[in-house]
Amino acid sequence: MIQKTALLVWVAFLVSTSFLWADEVRFQTTSDEMVKELTRPPVKYRSFASKKRTIAVAERINNKMEKTIVVVDENLDVPKLKIRIEFDYDSSALKKSSYTLLNEVGTALISNAIKDKTIMINGHTDSDGTQTYNLKLSFDRADSVKAYLVAAFNLPEERLQIRGYGELLPLKPNTIPYNKQINRRVEFEIVNR
């Protein structure tokens, strides 16, 4: 009887944790994973309702940050690298702990599979602070990532574009510190597939 109870508890534990893992956000960590993600075809989800929305973002136009409007299609899964680049609180300065991941990104960007592609670097924040402040912070963080990759991998500046989304596209609800950490990220995607 004790063995059956222990077995049932163990099975219940495995089933419950599998649901947690299934909902977990997947961050790429190696250049091979990054190349594989960026070269996969986009996936279009079927839906009766259009899940397109327009949002204000920060982009570099004529060498300065300007607000522009982009359309986000939530029915389209575009290949994107989700990278946990770490910054000091309220700062766009890269932490030393991020250099290893950024070196993997640089290695992926110079690989034969994507070396001729233009890349958009998207900065994201959590919801702490105002929307305007977070928009600028996310832009500045994407700009820091670009500057590092250009310097460390001798990439042409025009090959890397930047965009700040602020807090507008969270991966998880900004309700607990763990989720906020997940939402503070940098994403990379190929422009004009």
The answer to whether residue 18 sits within a structural domain is: no
What pLDDT, on the 0 to 100 scale, is given for residue 23? 56
What pLDDT, on the 0 to 100 scale, is given for residue 17? 39
Taking the model in full, what pTM does it have? 0.83
What pLDDT, on the 0 to 100 scale, is given for residue 89? 74
Task: Work out how many domains the chain is built from and give that number.
Answer: 1
The answer to whether residue 2 sits within a structural domain is: no
Q: 144 is in which domain, residue-wise?
A: 31-41+50-190
What pLDDT, on the 0 to 100 scale, is given for residue 128? 93
How confident is the model over 171-184, as pLDDT tens digits? 999 999 989 988 89
The answer to whether residue 10 sits within a structural domain is: no
Residues of the chain with pLDDT under 70: 1-23, 193
* Three-class HEC string of the chain: CHHHHHHHHHHHHHHHHHHHHHCCCCCCCCHHHHHHHHHCCCEECCCCCCCEEEEEEEEEECCEEEEEEEEEECCEECCCEEECCCECCCCCCECHHHHHHHHHHHHHHCCCCCCCCCEEEEECCCCCCCHHHHHHHHHHHHHHHHHHHHHHHCCCHHHEEEEECCCCCCCCCCCCHHHHHHHCCEEEEECCC
The answer to whether residue 183 sits within a structural domain is: yes
**CATH code: domain of residue 70:** 3.30.1330.60
